Amino acid sequence: MKYISIIFILFLSCSPKKDQEKPKVAVVISTLNNPWFVVLAESAAENARKLGYDAKIFDSQNNPATEADNFENLISSGFDAILFNPTDADGSIANILKAKTAGIPVFCMDREVNVDDAATSQILSDNYSGCVEIGIEFVKALNGKGKYVEIIGLVGDNNTWARSGGFHSVVDKFPDLKMLAQQSGDFDRNKAMEVLETIMQANPDIDAVFCGNDAMAMGAYQALQSAGKADKVKVFGFDGASEVVEKIKEKKIIATGMQYPKIMAKTAAQYADEYFKGRKTFPQRVPVEVELVTATNANEY
C-alpha cells in the first residue's frame, strides 16, 4: 500500500500541465515610467486575461540588463508566451532568442528589433509615415523657412530613428530650414525640458521644435513657457497623448501623430491566442497606421 501511494504521488508530480491550467502570458515592457507604455502594458495584460490566460507585467526600466533578468525569470517560471516591448533594437535580440530556444513565442509590440527571424511577429506603429506627415505640416507651418531643434528619443530604439527619418525625409528637402541642434531627450519629459533649456542658451532664436514623442513635446513646451517663448516657437510631438491633443485644440502645440497602443496590444494578445490554438505562421512585421492630429481635426480625438 505504501509503495502504491508513493507511485501515485510520483505519477501526479511527473504528469504534464493539467488541461485546465491556464497558459501564462508575460507582458515585458521597456518602462512603466511613461504613461504611454503603461497603457500598452495594461491593455496587453487585459486582452490576454479576456482571452482566458493568466497575465503578468514585467518592467524592464529601460535597462537591457533588467530585461535580460525578466526573461530569465519568466522562462524558468514556465510562461507560455511573451508580449514584448523591447528596450533596445539590437540588445533585446538575445533575449528573444533565449525565449525562442525555450519554445516560447515572442510578439513584439511598438518597438522593432533589427532582425526578422527572432520574434514570432512584430506589431509596430508606422512611425515613419506618421512623421512624414508631421514633416509636411512642419514645412507648411514654417513656410519652408526657419531655425529648428530636434529632440530625439532613446538612441538605441528603432522608433527614434524611424520618426527622425520620416521627418527628415521631408524637411531636409527644404534648404531654408536649418536644424540648429539634434539631441536626445530619452523620451522623457524632464530630460527634454532640460535639453531645450540648454540649447536655447546658445541658440535663443529658434522657430520650432520637433520632438520624438509627446512627453518630450510637453517638456519642450514647458521650457518655452518658462523662457516666455511659447507663443513664438512652434512645437510638434508624436504619440497622440491626450494632454498634447488638448494643447493642439488650444493652438499651443501644432501637431502630433496619433498612435494606437491599444490596437497593438490587442493584436499581440490575439496572436498569442492563435498561437496556442495551433497557428504557427505570422507576418513578421505588422504596421499600425498613425494619424496626423492638427487643430483642424483635433476635436475628432
63 forms part of the interface with other proteins (CB under 8 A): no
97 forms part of the interface with other proteins (CB under 8 A): no
State the minimum distance, in angstroms, from the CB of residue 203 to other proteins: 25
Residue from the set 38, 94, 97, 136 that interacts with other proteins by CB under 8 A: 136
CB 79 within 8 A of CB 104: yes
165 forms part of the interface with other proteins (CB under 8 A): yes
Q: Between 114 and 198, whose beta carbon lies closer to other proteins? A: 114
The number of beta carbons lying within 10 Å of the beta carbon of residue 131 is 29
285 forms part of the interface with other proteins (CB under 8 A): yes
Q: Between 32 and 263, whose beta carbon lies closer to other proteins? A: 263
Q: Between 82 and 268, whose beta carbon lies closer to other proteins? A: 268
272 forms part of the interface with other proteins (CB under 8 A): no
State the minimum distance, in angstroms, from the CB of residue 121 to other proteins: 11
Q: Between 114 and 190, whose beta carbon lies closer to other proteins? A: 114
Residue from the set 68, 284, 295, 301 that interacts with other proteins by CB under 8 A: 284
Q: What are the CA-CA distances from residue 65 to residues 22, 26, 94, 106, 270 (Å)? A: 29, 17, 11, 18, 28
Task: Give the x-and-dash track for 113-132 against other proteins (CB under 8 A).
Answer: -xxx------xx-x-xx--x
CB 131 within 8 A of CB 238: yes
Can you say how many angstroms the Cα of residue 36 is from the centroid of all Cα atoms in its chain? 8
Restricted to residues 168-197, the positions that interact with other proteins (CB under 8 A) are 169-170, 173
Query: Whose CA is closest to 78, among 60, 102, 58?
Result: 102
CB 257 within 8 A of CB 134: yes
- Determine the straight-line distance between the first and last CA of the chain, rounded to whole angstroms: 70
For the record, the C-alpha cell of 234 comes out as 512652434
112 forms part of the interface with other proteins (CB under 8 A): yes
93 forms part of the interface with other proteins (CB under 8 A): no
Give the bridge partners for 115, in sequence order. none
Instruction: Choose the binding region for other proteins from 62-70, 156-164, 192-200, 241-249 (rule: CB under 8 A).
Output: 156-164
Instruction: Choose the binding region for other proteins from 24-32, 160-168, 200-208, 251-259 (rule: CB under 8 A).
Output: 160-168
Amino acid residing at 66: T
Q: How many chain residues touch other proteins (CB under 8 A)? A: 32
| Cα–Cα distance measured from residue 97 to residue 105, given in angstroms and rounded to the nearest whole number | 10
87 forms part of the interface with other proteins (CB under 8 A): no
259 forms part of the interface with other proteins (CB under 8 A): no
Which residues 6+ apart lie within 8 Å of 153 measured at CB?
Answer: 159, 160, 163, 184, 185, 186, 187, 212, 213, 216
State the minimum distance, in angstroms, from the CB of residue 43 to other proteins: 14
Integer Rg of the chain from CA: 23
Q: Between 128 and 148, whose beta carbon lies closer to other proteins? A: 128
Question: Which alpha helices (H) appear in the chain, and where do they start and end?
Answer: 2-14, 35-50, 64-76, 93-101, 127-141, 158-171, 189-202, 214-226, 242-249, 261-276
Using CB under 8 A, list all residues that contact other proteins: 112, 114-116, 123-124, 126, 128-129, 132-133, 135-136, 139, 158, 161-162, 165-166, 169-170, 173, 260, 263, 267, 283-289
